[in-house]
Chain A
Amino acid sequence: MHFASSPQGSPEPRRPLAIRPLSITAYTATTALGRGRAAQLDALRARRGGLRPNDFGDDRLDCWIGRVDGLESDPLPAPLAHWDCRNNRLAWLALHQDGMFEAVNAARERFGADRVAIVLGTSTASIGASEEAYARLEDGADGQPTFPADLQRPIVHTPHSLGDFVQHATGLRGPCVTVATACSSSAKVFAQAARLIAAGLADAALVGGVDTLCGSVLFGFNSLGLVSQAPCKPFDAARDGLSLGEAGGFALLERTEGAPGLSLRGYGESSDAHHMSAPHPEGLGARLAMGDALARAGLSPADIDYLNLHGTATPANDTIEAQAVATLFPDTLHASSTKGWTGHTLGAAGIVESVVALLALEHGVLPGILNSAERDGACGPQIQFDNAERTIRYAMNNSFGFGGNNCSLVFAA
């Protein structure tokens, strides 16, 4: 389905107000690179990617994937068996790295369970469980095809599977929402959580996102002709599509009175108003999201040291994003896509790449781009293929999704 966007000129400049920083007191990611922050940092530093030839499922497309090991053999503990599925197993695994679970417990004790919100992003939640149910349909009492008994659990067949599981796993009782705006989902959770805290509905928020490999995304992206047969090559002149991955990650945001330290400083959200599965040709929405994130952070483009790009390695996305970055930022910015390491983790990309930005702030490791050799002509000097190491103050993350749904975040050390 396609219809042209309605005629419009340049949108009027919108100037959102600066927000109060929110401290990030714990954060973690689990990807094809391994479990927890150290695994991400080591692989980024060593330029060791996590993609492998597709070995997922029975019917295997000729492509590379970023798969998390160990999910098949590690079911949820018995009290949480009601939520058991690949996506919630990855949520549980990610929640138990880097002291995140203990940090959440401490926040629950300190603020009270009803004062800590849960805002999590996912693209497909646990639709893998629904796919499995359809592959194993049985004859029901009424003669109609019926889900097998072990999958007759409504909560794993709906988008809020993720949020509901984490709520029960953590015992938090504040606002609990699952955001599902495709590949911007777990970036937008930072914005929604910041608003909840600013309005007084919570003192802290567990944000993050989880997406797992499943038939829907492998065969869906393949049907759109967007999957490369090789490991993806972001911003390479010869790139020919994305590599899909799975990941989970979390961050704990807290209201703070003192120096915020590692913190969320700004967010920007916008719509392309252009097409369901293709980016705006001039990167209109991307520029609006980045501009709003800077305004809320009270910063100018020259203040940003590192930008983690959406950089999916599809021909359209990378050209447009590189042009938008060249329009907005000075030549000194270090910008890169890390999807060559992890694959495109869809609804988890926002949190995974926010974790990369936070690692850059904490450890001074500015990743370049993996698998790419020849620069696309659209790349400005901002797009860096090689890693760099230096102390930085501010980092930004871009996440863009289907429907022209864009989100940019600004973090500070």
Chain B
Amino acid sequence: MTPLTATVQGIGFWANGLPDWAAARAYVLGAARVDGAPARPSPQLLAPNERRRAPDTVALALDVALAACEAAGRAPQDLPSIFASTHGDLGITDYMCSTLAENPRAVSPTRFHNSVHNAAAGYWTIGAGCTQSTTALSAYDATFAEGLIEALVQLHAGQDAVLLVGYDGHAGGPLGPIARSEGLLGGALVLSSEAHANAPRISVDIVPLTVEPGHGRLTQLAGRNAMAPMLPLFEALALGGGDVVLQSGQNRAVRVRISVPSPAAHGAPVAAGALDG
């Protein structure tokens, strides 16, 4: 296949103790976690009362999505979006299954409509006033890799720019030992077709490889979250380039080659914190 290419125009990130991409990037480069970071994001796209009531995974996904759009200088309403999550909101799954076992007629209508896998995608498009397409997908441990592929084929099909969000939450209750996902972890990329000065370009293809789990600093911190397979890409973006492989099946991996244009080639100095958002 011909590699698919895109520009990483904006990045959003959230992990426990790393409440934004600047903190995550600094952490990869050796800094400490942020003291007193909030336990959960407060998504500014929602009205204040809705920020508190939103399910954890919705708050998480909307926070990193908005951060990526702001870093890219893109209006959220203009972008088609892809929401990739291994499990969706495990807290709501635990609630639904517990309630159905105890008193099925007591199921909350709000919790029910928040139980759909596209809950974050729905709240995002509603909050942003976005009528563009949005999707919600899962591919187990290949979820982020397949989400990245869908983002790139949307660009190939003619979109100017797309928003990709990867996120997973905490597994609790009897489902906890089965689903095995800890904490909140989210990452978002605004990917565009056109090159931009100082913004990394990615070139992506499929290679026959079995990938070992990552072992970088972000993986050491958040490796027990189900979205951890995305972390090697964010570590490489923080380090400024390189090749990354993301597992996407048996003997099948998505290879991402990151290149950052040199300042001389564009005749402009690298803006400080160009990737910070």
Contact = CB atoms under 8 A, between A and B. Distances in A.
Contacts of A114: 206, 252
B131 A272 contact: yes
B225 interface: no
A246 interface: no
Given A224-B113, A274-B126, A288-B131, A198 B157 contact: yes
Interface stretch (A21-29, A126-134, A249-257): A126-134
A11 B75 CA distance: 14
Interface stretch (A76-84, A159-167, A258-266, A362-370): A159-167
B129 A7 contact: yes
Interface in A246-297: 269-277, 284-285, 288
A8 B132 CA distance: 13
A272 B126 CA distance: 7
Interface residues of A, number: 77
A390 B138 CA distance: 41
Interface stretch (A174-182, A299-307, A352-360): A174-182
A201 B149 contact: yes
Contacts of A329: none
A198 B178 contact: no
A219 interface: yes
B146 interface: yes
Given A157-B178, A219-B107, A285-B131, A180 B116 contact: yes
B240 to A, nearest CB: 28
A1 B50 contact: yes
B1 A201 contact: yes
A155 B142 CA distance: 13
Interface stretch (A85-93, A236-244, A397-405): A397-405
B98 interface: yes
Contacts of A181: 116-118, 121, 134-136
A158 B127 contact: no
A137 interface: yes
A192 interface: yes
B126 A276 contact: yes
Count class of interface residues, chain B? 35 or more
A177 B139 contact: yes
Contact of B126 (A11, A175, A275): A275
Contacts, number: 242
A176 B93 contact: no
B198 interface: no
Contacts of A70: none
A134 B101 contact: yes
Given A272-B131, A405-B122, A219 B100 contact: yes
Nearest to A172: B249
Interface string A214-245: 01100111111100000000000000000000
B118 A180 contact: yes
A39 interface: no
Contact of A180 (B88, B96, B158): B88
Interface in B46-60: 46-47, 50, 53-54
B121 to A, nearest CB: 6
Interface of A: 1, 3, 5-8, 11, 16-17, 19, 59, 114, 123, 127, 130-131, 133-135, 137, 144-147, 152, 154-155, 157-160, 163-164, 167, 173, 175-182, 188, 192, 195-196, 198-201, 215-216, 219-225, 269-277, 284-285, 288, 401-405
Interface string B36-52: 00000000001100100
B150 interface: yes
A284 B252 contact: no
B259 interface: no
- 8 closest pairs, A vs B, by CB? A403-B122, A6-B129, A180-B117, A269-B133, A220-B112, A271-B125, A134-B97, A195-B153
Interface string B162-206: 000000000001110111100000000000000000000000001
B109 A160 contact: no
Contacts of B2: 200
A123 B47 CA distance: 28
Given A158-B140, A179-B136, A199-B156, A276 B113 contact: yes
Contacts of B7: none
